[in-house]
Amino acid sequence: MTPLPDLFAEIPEPFRAAYEPAAPWGLLGEPLDALLAALPSSAIAIPTSPDFHLVGDRIAIGKGTRIAPGAVIEGPVWIGEEVEVRPGAYVRAGCWIGDRATIGANSEIKHAILLPGAAAPHLNYVGDSILGSRVNLGAGTVLSNFRHDGAQVAIRLADGGKLPTARRKLGAILGDRVATGCNCVLHPGVVVGRETQIYPGAMLRSGIYPARSVVKLVQRIEIEARRG
């Protein structure tokens, strides 16, 4: 099995027994589904309001969490303590959102795990992905989760081989403190080691990106005088 880069300093207790460092995307399957299926019908520790919308069953929200007007949250979902859900955010069914995470205005989270302190704060799409502790997504960052041909997602390796995931939908696995710049697009099957910085506008193909590195977009800008 191809070794993956260093990703997470700590795995939240509900997932520890099921976590496999060689295949971290496995948490998005049975472990996540079973955890959400076992939630009570309602375990909401904050005042509800007609200004935001809770849809479906098995919704757990921890104390101190703030949900802004216009947000939509679908069950089953587990949202920890002191989470911030900003205006217009859409948390789709099947998510686990750790303590102190941030889901920003008009961001959409779909079947994902956000470890404590992770942030998708501005116009983000996070599909079938895992965000490590204190990950920060720049405005407009998209974690794409589905191939156009519908085939299973396989992670490209440096030697030209592929690491199968057995998943038709898989976005990105981002280690702790990974940061993306504005308008980054990560294609299905991206794994990024912890504390790596991805510069604005980068488009990452499926692959494994090392920990504690910088991923840059190199472009050429030409400026010419207008004619006429």
Annotated domain spans of the chain: 13-215
**Is pLDDT above 90 for 138?**
yes
Residue 192, both tokens: 């990024």
* Residue 150, pLDDT score: 87
Q: What positions carry a catalytic annotation?
A: 122
CB of 108 within 8 A of CB of 90?
yes
Which helix (DSSP H) or strand (DSSP E) does residue 203 occupy? strand 203-204
Q: What is the CATH number of domain 13-215?
A: 2.160.10.10
What is the rounded average pLDDT of the residues 123-140? Answer: 98
Range in 69-73, 98-102, 218-222 the model is least confident about: 218-222
DSSP string of 143-191, one letter each residue: E--B-TT-PPEEEE-TTS-EEEEEESB--EEE-TT-EE-TT-EE-SSEE
Helices (H), 8-90: 13-16, 30-37
| Alpha carbons 59 and 77: distance in angstroms, whole number | 5
* Residue 198, pLDDT score: 98
**Is pLDDT above 70 for 1?**
no
* Residue 2, pLDDT score: 58
Give residue-wise pLDDT tens across range 14-46. 999 999 999 999 999 999 999 999 999 889 999
